């Protein structure tokens, strides 16, 4: 066991765990004062149910021996069998530590989707959706993207091994996956009563605090994905920092040009857009390339967010505009500005690498988007006609916290 790498991964697990309250605060501050507790509970509820499913069979579905490059064998590590042994998975990291690190990826990915269902979805329906979605969408897609031959099992997923697309830490498996699911859920769920009247964040400081915690945790998200305590992890952290700075400034510039002001929600959203976009590319682009990735995300994502009212889908907290679009930007820009000087050593089109890598990136992104959207829409529709997805109009008017939970965020007079 490599003690240095083990120490790094344990610290990264703590950093990823910080993202749980970070996401809860980020989302909770952006919704109505009447539903902030519910919004935060959707994050914690998703983490709880997905965490258990991961150690029961999720790790095995993702990292078990591949069945046709599509699915890991669910019985290889069923019930976490074999994970307690002092075996290594990659460069001296024990399988148990690796499993916990990847479990938090799964939990956070599912929790991201909840932003598209703010203010109007039954908590019970959300919990069922979260668990089933993890099992039938996230686990298979994560196998495609994260399971390399010989890392834990002998054979892995088709994107990781056969296609050759680059996804350092989850632009496809995490962000495109969650964003496509959020779009499907929003369409099946329908519009909230306040759709079209503009966002009503009740506590911008909470959202900014949440964004800061997410930013801190993202170093663990990206740097830890190198799975070795050396310069590769540091490289990913530096590009993560630069892209986030660039995207924040770009988002604020777009706000100023469009609306004549800059906002706290814009700063927080810009930072998250940069973090999302650099996630797949943090090991494939130089520091200058990371700035370009951040600038593109900071310009395109706010414009994409502005389309939801024109297109008529109620993505309450902009999961589609930030995570789906940002994930697509980062994934595709590897094929444009990937550099041989990066730790992934892949050359994009603008660095003389031709269109081959861009085509691989596009195929990976398109496959994940299509699979996630279709299966998520089917799952949401089945829940809609069986247990129901939405709270009643009366409950929505009164506030979801007051109707479904005993402990509101604030004592309102």
Q: List Cα–Cα distances, 196 to 105, 192, 268, in angstroms.
A: 33, 9, 21
pLDDT of residue 219: 98
Full-model pTM: 0.96
CA distance 171 to 154: 24
Residues 64 and 246: their CA atoms lie apart, in Å, by 39
**pLDDT computed for residue 401 by the predictor:** 87
- Residue 94 — φ and ψ, nearest 5°? -65, 150
Rounded Cα distance between 72 and 147, Å, is: 9
Helices of type H across 123-198: 123-133, 139-146, 158, 177-189
Question: What is residue 413's predicted lDDT score, i.e. its pLDDT?
Answer: 58
Looking at residue 61, its pLDDT comes to: 97
For residue 276, give both structure tokens: 């999302």
Q: How far apart are CA 317 and CA 116, in angstroms?
A: 6
User: Taking the CA atoms of the chain, what radius of gyration do you get in angstroms?
Assistant: 20
C-alpha to C-alpha distance for 43 and 122, rounded to whole angstroms: 14
Length of the chain, in residues: 413
Tokens 């550099």 belong to which residue?
339
> Which bin fits 268, alpha (ψ -120 to 50), beta or left (φ > 0)?
alpha
- 291 sits in the region (left: phi over 0; alpha: psi -120 to 50; else beta) called alpha
pLDDT of 90 reads: 61
Which H or E run includes 122? none
CA distances from 336 to 116, 163, 317, 375 (A): 30, 17, 29, 30
261 sits in the region (left: phi over 0; alpha: psi -120 to 50; else beta) called: beta
pLDDT on residue 152:
84
Which pLDDT value is given to residue 302? 97
Closest CA to 364 of 399, 394, 328, 392: 328
Quote the longest CA-to-CA distance of the chain: 64
Say which DSSP state 306 is in: T
pLDDT of residue 91: 64
Instruction: Tell me the two tokens of residue 132.
Output: 């089933």
pLDDT at 196: 74
Pair 207, 340: CB distance under 8 Å: no
Q: Which candidate, 4, 92, 106, 89, places its Cα nearest to that of 51?
A: 106
Reading the chain (413 residues) residue by residue, the pLDDT tens digits are 788 999 999 999 999 999 999 999 999 999 988 899 999 999 999 999 999 999 999 999 999 999 999 999 999 999 988 887 756 666 678 899 999 999 999 999 999 999 999 999 999 999 999 999 999 999 999 999 999 988 788 889 999 999 999 999 999 999 999 999 999 999 999 998 888 775 579 999 999 999 999 999 999 999 999 999 999 999 999 999 999 999 999 999 999 999 999 999 999 999 999 999 999 999 999 999 999 999 999 999 999 999 998 999 999 999 999 999 999 999 999 999 999 999 999 999 999 999 999 999 999 999 999 999 999 999 999 999 999 999 998 888 888 888 878 777 887 65
Q: Roughly how many angstroms between the first and final C-alpha of the chain, as a whole number?
A: 58
Q: Distance between CA 384 and CA 188 in Å, rounded?
A: 8
């Amino acid at each position: 066991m490599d003690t240095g790498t083990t120490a790094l991964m344990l610290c990264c697990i703590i950093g990823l765990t910080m993202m749980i309250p970070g996401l809860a605060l980020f989302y909770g501050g952006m919704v109505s004062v009447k539903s902030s507790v519910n919004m935060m509970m959707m994050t914690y509820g998703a983490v709880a149910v997905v965490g258990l499913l991961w150690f029961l069979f999720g790790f095995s579905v993702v990292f078990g021996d591949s069945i046709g490059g599509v699915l890991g064998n669910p019985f290889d590590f069923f019930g976490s069998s074999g994970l307690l042994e002092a075996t290594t998975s990659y460069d001296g990291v024990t399988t148990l530590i690796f499993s916990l690190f990847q479990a938090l990826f799964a939990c956070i990915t599912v929790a991201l989707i909840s932003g598209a269902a703010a203010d109007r979805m039954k908590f019970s329906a959300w919990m069922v959706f979260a668990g089933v979605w993890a099992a039938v969408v996230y686990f298979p897609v994560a196998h495609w993207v994260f399971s390399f031959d010989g890392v834990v099992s002998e054979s892995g997923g088709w994107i990781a091994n056969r296609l050759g697309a680059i996804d350092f830490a989850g632009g496809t498996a995490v962000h495109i996956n969650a964003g496509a699911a959020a779009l499907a859920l929003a369409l099946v769920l329908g519009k909230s009563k306040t759709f079209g009247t503009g966002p009503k964040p009740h506590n911008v400081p909470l959202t900014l605090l949440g964004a800061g915690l997410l930013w801190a945790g993202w170093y663990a998200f990206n740097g830890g994905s190198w799975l070795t305590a050396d310069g590769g992890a540091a490289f990913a952290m530096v590009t993560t920092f630069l892209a986030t700075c660039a995207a924040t400034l770009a988002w604020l510039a777009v706000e100023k040009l469009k609306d004549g002001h800059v906002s706290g929600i814009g700063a927080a959203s810009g930072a998250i857009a940069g973090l999302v976009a650099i996630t797949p590319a943090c090991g494939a682009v130089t520091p200058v390339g990371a700035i370009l990735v951040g600038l593109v995300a900071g310009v395109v994502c706010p414009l994409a967010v502005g389309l939801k009212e024109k297109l008529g889908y109620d993505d309450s907290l902009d999961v589609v505009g930030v995570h789906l679009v940002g994930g697509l930007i980062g994934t595709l820009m590897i094929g444009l500005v990937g550099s041989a000087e990066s730790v992934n050593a892949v050359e994009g089109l603008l660095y003389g690498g031709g269109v081959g890598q861009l085509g691989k990136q596009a195929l990976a992104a398109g496959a994940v988007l299509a699979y996630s959207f279709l299966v998520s829409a089917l799952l949401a529709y089945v829940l809609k006609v069986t247990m129901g997805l939405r709270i009643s109009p009366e409950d929505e008017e009164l506030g979801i916290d007051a109707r479904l939970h005993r402990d509101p965020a604030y004592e309102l007079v």
